Amino acid sequence: MVKIFCLFFITLLSINLSAQDKPLYKDANQSIEKRIEDLLSRMTPEEKAMQLNQYTLGRNDNANNMADPVNDIPAEIGSLIYFSSDPALRNQVQKKAMEKSRLGIPVIFGYDVIHGYRTVYPISLGQACSWNPELVKKACAVAAQEARMSGVDWTFSPMIDVARDGRWGRVAEGYGEDPYTNAVFSVASVKGYQGDDISGNKNVAACLKHYVGYGASEAGRDYVYTEISKQTLWDTYMLPYEEGVKAGAATLMSCFNDISGTPGTANRYILTEVLKNRWGHDGFVVSDWGAIEQLRSQGVAKDKKEAALKAFTAGVEMDMMNRCYDNHLAELVKEGKVSEEQLNEAVRRVLRVKFRLGLFENPYTPVTTEQERFLLAESMKIAEKLAEESIVLLKNEDKALPLSNVKKIAVVGPMAKSQWHLLGSWRAQGNAEDAVSIYKGLENEFEGKAQLQYAEGCDFEGDDRSKFEEAKTVAKDADVIIVCLGEKAQWSGENASRSTLSLPQIQEDLVKELHNLGKPVILVLSGGRPLELTRLEKLSDAMLEIWQPGIAGGNPLAGIISGRINPSGKLSITFPYSTGQIPIYYNHRQSARTHQGKYQDIPSTPLYEFTHGLSYTTFEYGDIKLSSDKIRKGDKLSAEITVTNTGDMDGAETVHWFIRDPVSTISRPVKELKHFEKQMLKKGETKTFRFDIDLFKDLGFVNGEGDRFLETGEYQIIVKDKKMKVEIVE
């Protein structure tokens, strides 16, 4: 009997002991919220403050953000920017956090995986020209998989800053000038990165950036002031964030810019009142690199401590490379300037994302070889398809393209053999050697069909015309001249503004000389922004914008040139007639005198409008059919249009649906994109495109407080030059 009792007692004790050994926060069967509270209850203010900091790890080759790797990384650090792609290094540092910190809280490793990790695909501005969010979602899923398998849990992407000034180098990183387009791709990329569940070992947490208004940087310069009225904040800049939050984005990044006197990083209205209280976001906000300490330069904080106080109380939970929170937060709590509950709430948000990522259960990254992770056949296919659909045929006079019956092709220009520049900025772990140059793509495509002759012609910039003669000699001997021009990778991206959208004079002069030879000239343009092509357009028979296409590089382009592929890309940003027209974008508000207010020296219309893009086939549009032309506010409305492929090649067409509200309480844009759909049409085929109109969302407007209204009266539904009226009655 005594024996049995002893056994019972010992069993009870051991159950109790193991329960004590394994605190609740380590029990994966408990709810995340319970685990967070348990963990919080065990943390000291210092440990809490450390969770809110991000340092770097690994070789940092980001020219804008140089920092020495922190050799002695504290075991309690909340996050690291992980510049390496070696899972072993991550695991070594993670081991320290798991085993040497008192509570064993895993580190979250972040990185800029912007347009691919190793399998680099086109820059976002180009991606948007595909009008194919499904494909973008797939590409982001590839990036997520490569990154997570390499030790990255969290990407600082997507960038969804509506941008209307091509001089701003970061225009390359977003999805163009339109709020709705940015919103659609914001959702697509969040879903691609995060999948259904970020705890999977192939998904990463997304980060919507740079919240908010960074794209309005004055004069296209980086890190400067942005003047944004509340009305414009809401109707132009907020939508992509609102939609990204709804899609479940785990985190956001605060911006560098000063929004009409209150920097984004110290802006309680956007960071707390809207994001947390109104939209209910329960993840966390990381500052941009140095954005907290920069509150001093922006003139709203006298020192780092005050900067920490302002950013923290505004709603920035994590400090990226400012060393403000680690040095001052615990002290601010002691002084009572930050309450314990405020600190808890910030830590809660960071821990929530860590729990959701499954980091407590799986802190380490399985070690795999690069071959198992990178450049997989399926990933390469997606990158190539996206590059193909991003390419925009800007001009094609007298069907100069596709090439037919050519025997000798001259390939000229500084971009022709470059691999490096095709990757663009933010190439993550991309390798230039993986990229197919334009020349190589053409060589693959025309092997056995036509002979290629190459000359560099000139450098990207400078005055050295000594290589012009060689280029002319090569070109004279050819049936067609393909001139490959554009921007160096470092001319766009962060801190890479330009004062003009023109290409350097030397590149234009090269085209002039080649044009004078009287042969067909095909211009291939690669770069990270819309260009001023007014003079080059006159000197060429066809022009193709390939953006920075990533590693697929010249392959899809060559397919388009040969006619194997029918181009389907359409511009996500306006190409101005002249840089002097900036800002120029399709959805400008209505003006007082539509017949006046024009430039005296140049046209007032752009060279290529938003959504411009040619195909090798022709599409004929039917009339818009509305389900009703008079409806009540609560009714359903839909619109349809038929499109027929009337040419002699299969091709994809994107139908863009715009709306217009001619008379409203506020002055609204001349037209606003509300829906788009891309479909493949075989030659001779007719397909119906449909827009299910949500009256409130699609026809209504937001005011300066973000409240949405739908007014009675007339509205227009617009597709190309087709227009239908609908009246909303009470």
Positions in the binding site for ligand BGC (CB under 6 A): 62, 64-65, 112, 156, 209, 288-289, 494
- Buried b / exposed e over 380-393, threshold 16 CB at 10 Å, is bebbbbbbbbbbbb
Shortest reach from residue 480's CB to ligand BGC, in Å? 41
Tell me which residue of 680, 689, 670, 681 sits closest to 646, measured CA to CA: 681
Q: Which two tokens stand for residue 503?
A: 């290409």
| Residue number, 491 or 610, with CB nearest to ligand BGC | 491
Tell me if residue 460 falls in helix, strand or coil. coil
CA distance 586 to 129: 15
Q: Which two tokens stand for residue 97?
A: 């956090």
CA distance 420 to 58: 22
CA distance 711 to 701: 9
Q: Which residue has the tokens 């030659």?
A: 683
CA distance 250 to 248: 6
Residue of 178, 258, 288, 434 with catalytic role:
288
Shortest reach from residue 254's CB to ligand BGC, in Å? 10
Main-chain phi, psi angles of 714, to 5 degrees: -90, 140
Main-chain phi, psi angles of 104, to 5 degrees: 65, 50
Element (H, E) at 676: strand 672-681
Handedness of CA 567, 568, 573, 576 (dihedral sign): positive
CA distance 80 to 101: 16
| Residue number, 85 or 581, with CB nearest to ligand BGC | 85
| Residue number, 44 or 64, with CB nearest to ligand BGC | 64
| Residue number, 156 or 610, with CB nearest to ligand BGC | 156
Shortest reach from residue 262's CB to ligand BGC, in Å? 19
Amino acid sitting at position 315: G
CA distance 123 to 240: 18
Tell me if residue 625 falls in helix, strand or coil. strand
Q: Which residue has the tokens 């590089």?
A: 553
Main-chain phi, psi angles of 510, to 5 degrees: -60, -45
| Residue number, 112 or 653, with CB nearest to ligand BGC | 112
CA distance 218 to 239: 21
Shortest reach from residue 185's CB to ligand BGC, in Å? 16
139 vs 114, 146, 408, 508, CA distance in Å? 11, 11, 36, 34
Tell me which residue of 525, 546, 564, 552 sits closest to 436, measured CA to CA: 552
| Residue number, 189 or 534, with CB nearest to ligand BGC | 189
Tell me which residue of 535, 560, 546 sits closest to 484, measured CA to CA: 546
Shortest reach from residue 228's CB to ligand BGC, in Å? 18
Q: Are 397 and 542 in contact (CB under 8 A)?
A: yes
CB neighbourhood size of 14 (10 A): 11
Shortest reach from residue 62's CB to ligand BGC, in Å? 6
Tell me which residue of 305, 233, 299 sits closest to 270, measured CA to CA: 233
| Residue number, 208 or 392, with CB nearest to ligand BGC | 208
Shortest reach from residue 540's CB to ligand BGC, in Å? 35
| Residue number, 172 or 347, with CB nearest to ligand BGC | 172
| Residue number, 264 or 576, with CB nearest to ligand BGC | 264
CB neighbourhood size of 317 (10 A): 26
298 vs 217, 226, 295, CA distance in Å? 14, 12, 5
CA distance 6 to 143: 58
Shortest reach from residue 232's CB to ligand BGC, in Å? 22
Tell me if residue 642 falls in helix, strand or coil. strand
Q: Which two tokens stand for residue 376?
A: 């997989």
> Is 235 in the active site?
no
| Residue number, 441 or 493, with CB nearest to ligand BGC | 493
Task: Catalogue the active-site residues.
Answer: 288
